[in-house]
Structure 1
Amino acid sequence: MQRLPWTTGRWTHSPVDASQDGDDLVVTCAEGSDAWRVTSYGFVHDSEHALVAPLPQDTAMEVCFTADYDQQFDQAGLFVVAAEDCWAKAGVEFADGHPQVGAVVTNPTSDWSVAPVDPWHGQKVRVRVSRSGDALTVRAGLDGEPLALVRVAPFPPDADAEAGPLACAPSRAGLSVRFHDWSIGPADASLH
């Protein structure tokens, strides 16, 4: 994997602040920032903070961040976007009293899959999304440990996609997330 500088790419929606602290990027979220489309809730949220760069076919992108947050729907991870109604986010979201690893896949409406990961609270977490053919393969785990398969999701094979670090604070002000690295490389060769 090749590390990307924090100056690479563009913000989908500018955060309150994004500043380097040594090698890390610290992102402070706007209250109400989120990404969701319609399903079950009936609303569209299109205000996520994602720093994105091109994600061509047969590549993977990774982010590492500290999952040190504890308010309902606080979240960080990786965002992949092809259009306003075709995107995916994967990472750790605090929901119903627990940090939860999961993914939201949207095309054109959102779905959400989660699983509790209480030992990840306050730890460095690594999330990888591989793009190959008509699919995104999501893996996650504690930094330095093997990454586990989280999800395989459909994604348009001919779409121009971008991806990168994501942070959102749907229910509060003041959330800051520390990202430790952002990298790109070849897609994973297999699912397992």
Structure 2
Amino acid sequence: MQEIVVFSALLSGINFTWYNEPKKWSINQTNINVHTDGNTDFWRKTHYGFERDNGHFYYQSLHGDKSFTVAVNIRGKYNTLYDQGGLMLRTDENNWIKCGVEYVDGQQFASVVVTVNGWSDWSVVSIKAPEVLKLRAKREKEAVHIDFAEGEDGDFKMMRLAYLPVTDRSRAMMVGIMCASPNNATQGFDISFEHLNIAVDPNTNGSERRFFRSCLRYHKMNYTLYNSLPNTCEPSKDASTHLCERHVATIHEQFRLLFLLLNRPFLLDFVSPNRKFRYP
């Protein structure tokens, strides 16, 4: 018997926390689905004069001075002025970045708001209302590099290189997805976040690796490579390995989410005394 130990990627809520939890939301293995509450936003002072810190933010806490990359795909049914959703990086209410889609004057924009020391600035890029917007933010020390791509097959383009100071290295950096509907009259909108991926830099210290692994659940799965698979499997040329393509593909799909989360190529090895079988 060959024992294979794997990680199963979680989006089941372990180690994630809501800041301003919405009334309606759900989660499964790949998606976080939210219906926003009205009169919600993240903004500090600039131009409009008001301060709001009541948008929806679903996050993990990472060590404050470590590097990481966070990525997600978003699909939203934006319908009211300033409806928005995307990624957020935050140390406190006065220092944060949000990026994603914002709906302005009937049009979608790729949007970034950078707030430092309690003052927000806002930049936008016109987009063609794609069904899916892919977002990626990479944080290295006090710099955050933000990219976006339109559509499932779109190429990433740089949207912003921003400064986000580490005001207190003992404080955590909160990282995750955000959405909001600032308009008072809105009934909110539906938005889905797909394949959220938070990857700590591999050069980070051991405590950071342990924290990231805590976002995964261990599953131990035993595969007997001898005469254990259904009779429908045709023996391979190496008769010691009875593993048909269909069963390998099934296993491949079961573990696909793990490798999306880790942002690594998928390679699953089955080892027998005489042969190593790799898929794909």
Global fold match (TM > 0.5): yes
Conserved 8 A contact 1:50-1:166? yes
Cα distance in 1 between the residues matched to 2:77 and 2:114? 24
* Structure having the higher Rg: 2
Once the two structures are TM-superposed, the CA of residue 147 in structure 1 deviates from its matched residue by: 1.3
Helix, strand or coil at the partner of 1:181: strand
Q: Hey, what does 2:189 align to over in structure 1?
A: 175
1:99-136 alpha-carbon deviations (Å, 9 max, x no partner): 0001001112100001211242xx11111111102111
For structure 1, the residue ranges without an aligned partner over 5 or more in a row are 188-192
Pair 106,3 (structure 1): closer, same or farther in 2 beyond 3 Å: farther
Fraction of identical pairs, as percent: 26
1:94 aligns with 2:103: yes
TM-score (norm. length: structure 1): 0.88
More strand by share: 1
What is the Cα deviation at residue 54 of structure 1? 2.4
Aligned partner of 1:161 among 173, 177, 197: 173
CA contact (8 A) 1:3 1:183 kept: no
Tell whether the 8 Å contact from 2:84 to 2:100 is kept in structure 1 after alignment.
Answer: yes
Cα distance in 2, alignment partners of residues 176 and 164 from structure 1: 18
Task: Using the TM superposition, name which of 43-52 and 22-31 deviates more.
Answer: 22-31
Q: Do the aligned residues in 2 keep the contact of 1:3 with 1:182 (CA within 8 Å)?
A: no
| Kept after mapping to 1: 8 A contact 2:25/2:32 | yes
Q: Which residue is equivalent to 1:5?
A: 11
Taking a change above 3 Å as real, the CA distance of residues 169 and 156 of structure 1, as seen in their structure-2 partners, is same
CA distance, structure 2, for counterparts of residue 17 and residue 116 of structure 1: 30
In structure 2, C-alpha distance between the alignment counterparts of 1:150 and 1:181, rounded to whole Å: 21
**Other-structure match for 1:185:** 199
Contact 1:4/1:183 (8 A) holds in 2: no
Q: List structure 1 segments (4+ residues) > 6 angstroms apart after TM superposition.
A: none
Report whether the alignment pairs 1:148 with 2:157.
yes
After TM superposition, the structure 1 stretch with the greater mean CA deviation from structure 2, 18-27 or 161-170, is: 18-27
Deviation digits for residues 128-178 of structure 1 (CA, Å, limit 9, x no counterpart): 111102111111112332211110110124453111111111111231111
Q: Distance in 2 between matches of 1:10 and 1:22?
A: 17
Q: The residue matched to 1:104 in structure 2 has which SS?
A: strand
The number of equivalent residue pairs is 184
Once residues 177 and 48 of structure 1 are traced to their aligned partners in structure 2, the CA distance between those partners, rounded to angstroms, is 14
Match of 1:111 among 109, 116, 121: 121
**Paired residues for 1:62-101 under 5 Å:** 62-101=71-110
Where structure 2 has 5 or more consecutive residues not aligned to the other structure, the ranges are 1-7, 202-280
Letter of the 2:121 counterpart: D
Q: Is the 8 A contact 1:60 1:186 kept in 2?
A: yes
Q: Which moved more, 1:46-55 or 1:81-90?
A: 46-55
Alignment equivalent of 2:53, drawn from 46, 52, 55: 46
TM (norm. structure 2) is: 0.62
Partner amino acid for 2:11?
A: P
Which residue in 2 is equivalent to 1:16?
23
